[in-house]
Amino acid sequence: MASAIMGGIIKSSFVSPLDIFVYDINNDTLDALSSKFNVNHTSSIRNLAKSADVVVIATKPFAIDDVLNELRGYTENKLVVSILAGVTSERIENGLKETKVVRVMPNTPAFVNEGMCALCKGKLAQTKDVEYVESMLKNIGRTVVIDEKYIDIVTAISGSGPAFYYYIIDLIAKAGEKLGLDYNTCLMLSSQTALGSAKMLLESKQSPQELINAVTTPGGCTAVGNDVLKNSNIQEIINKTIKDTMEKASALG
């Protein structure tokens, strides 16, 4: 995800590669990032913090205590951006002291500049800090600012959501394959239809139901499919999927 963010902001000229510093505990990963993006690499987290005005924490959640221990004393009055699931801004603030924190829940479509990032403002962060992070992340997709108490719902919908959509897209493709059309063609049909439908929903300013109605002719093909969905337990399954995912996200914290 850090790679996706760097790629987006460098491509858009939001920040010059010369102004970006990276650190990773794995030297191979560090060398690969430096080579790919032509950015600076540092020998420690502390050296990175000394060099940067904005520090993005993009580690695994289980490593947060080690990261905070290394950063402590080096982030005063700086802006720390965290993309860690389950780690609250309050936990980071308590670990660092006098640090402005903006928490972000991104998702993997950021790799193709179609990401969805939700931002939460910590206690010490100001509106201008959130606006800065928004302007940075808009280079990899869309953004929304929310209250942090809703972040686990966001994790379930958009953080984990791509996996659920991939699953559904694949199921539709496999259904077509069972009827005789080759899988790769079915997968392209299903994937592009999902992409186009999402784009229409985002850009048309119409509700999902209005767009459903626009596709559906009474007594026609789509109406038959709609009836199958309405008479199934798909809503119950989706509700449980999002609820269980949200609860897992909450438990990580």
Q: Are 120 and 148 in contact (CB under 8 A)?
A: yes
166 in the same domain as 141: no
Q: What is the mean pLDDT of residues 220-244?
A: 97
Q: What is the pLDDT of residues 136-181, one digit of tens each?
A: 999 999 999 999 999 999 999 999 999 999 999 999 999 999 999 9
**pLDDT (0 to 100) of residue 251:** 86
Which pLDDT does position 253 carry in this prediction?
A: 67
Could you tell me whether strands 79-82 and 100-105 are parallel, antiparallel, or unpaired per DSSP bridges? parallel
**Average confidence (pLDDT) over 226-246:** 97
CATH (domain of 109): 3.40.50.720
In this structure, the answer to whether residues 203 and 145 fall within a common structural domain is no
The model's pTM is 0.89
Least confident of 9-18, 119-128, 227-236: 9-18
Same domain, 127 and 178: no
Asked if 190 contacts 169 with a C-beta cutoff of 8 angstroms, the reply is yes
Q: Whole-angstrom distance between the N-terminal and C-terminal Cα of the chain?
A: 20
User: Is 181 in a helix, a strand, or coil?
Assistant: coil
Phi first, then psi, for residue 49 (nearest 5°) are -65, -35
Contact 118, 158 (CB under 8 A): yes
* Band of pLDDT at residue 61, cut at 50, 70 and 90: confident
Q: 112-121 pLDDT, tens per residue?
A: 889 999 999 9
For 67, the token pair is: 């990261």
Q: What is the pLDDT of residue 213?
A: 97
Q: DSSP characters for 60-94?
A: -GGGHHHHHHHHTTS-TT-EEEE--TT--HHHHHH
Residue 11 phi/psi, 5° resolution? -60, -35
What pLDDT is recorded for position 95? 93
More confident residue, 61 or 233: 233
Q: State the amino acid at position 126 in one-letter form.
A: Q
* Domain endpoint, select from 156, 176, 202: 156
Same domain for 9 and 31? yes
| Residue 50 sits in the same domain as residue 125 | yes
Q: What is the pLDDT of residue 194?
A: 98
Please tell me whether residues 140 and 167 are part of one structural domain: no
Beta bridge partners of 22: 41
Structural domain boundaries, residue 224: 161-252
Number of domains in the chain: 2
